[in-house]
Amino acid sequence: MDSIIRYLITIIQDQYKQICYLLLFICKYIPLKQWAFDDSHSPEYQKFKVDKLPTVFTPVTFDYQLYIAYIQYRYEYLIKPIKRHSECDIPKDLVCPRCGAPHGYLYKNNGSKGQFQCKVCEERFNSDNIYKHTLELRCPYCGNILVPKKDRKCFRIHKCVNPKCNYYLANKRKLPPDLKPEDKHLYKLHYIYREFTMDFFRMDLHSLPKNATGFSFKKFSPHILGLVLTYHVNLKLSTRQTSHALKEIHGIDISHTTVAHYAMTAASVIKPFVDTYDYKPANILSADETYIKKLGKKHYVWIVMDACKKSILGYQVSDNRSVGPCVLAMRMAFEKFKVFPGKALKFIADGYSAYPLAAQYCKAEKGWDFDVTQVIGLTNDDAVSTEYRWVKQIVERLNRTFKSSYRNTNGYNSDEGALYGVSLWVAYYNFLRPHSHNYWKPLNELDEFDKAGNMPAKWIILIRLGQQTILNMQQSSPSAG
Q: Are residues 413 and 283 in the same domain?
A: yes
End-to-end C-alpha distance for the chain, whole angstroms: 86
Predicted TM-score of the model (pTM): 0.73
Length of the chain in terms of residues written: 481
Q: Is residue 170 part of a domain?
A: yes
The predicted structure's pLDDT at residue 36: 44
Number of DSSP helices (H) and strands (E) in the chain, helices first: 12, 13
Residue 214 lies in a domain: no
Q: Does a structural domain hold residue 122?
A: yes
Domain assignment of residue 392, yes or no: yes
pLDDT per residue as tens digits for the range 358-416: 999 998 888 899 999 988 877 777 778 888 899 999 999 999 999 888 776 666 777 77
32 alpha-carbon distance from chain centroid? 25
Domain shared by 84 and 121, yes or no: yes
- The pLDDT of residue 242 is 92
Instruction: Answer yes or no: do 73 and 181 share one domain.
Output: no
Return the pLDDT at 394. 92
Are 82 and 151 contained in the same domain?
Answer: no
> What sign does the dihedral 368-370-376-380 (CA atoms) show?
negative
Same domain, 350 and 335: yes
Task: Tell me, yes or no, whether 39 lies in a domain.
Answer: no
Are residues 384 and 432 part of one domain?
Answer: yes
Residues 282 and 407 in one domain: yes
Q: Which stretches in the chain have pLDDT values below 50?
A: 33-40, 211, 213, 480-481
- Which one of 98, 132, 166 terminates a domain? 132
Q: Note the pLDDT of residue 103.
A: 85
Same domain, 144 and 119: no
Range of the domain at 164: 46-56+134-196
Q: Are residues 406 and 460 in the same domain?
A: yes
pLDDT (tens digit per residue) in 286-322 = 999 998 888 788 889 999 999 999 999 999 998 888 8
418 with 463, same domain? Answer: yes
Question: What pLDDT does residue 197 have?
Answer: 78
Q: Same domain, yes or no, for 333 and 368?
A: yes
What is the C-alpha to C-alpha distance for residues 436 and 442, in angstroms, rounded to an integer? 9
Total count of domains within the chain: 3
| Domain final position from 132, 151, 167 | 132
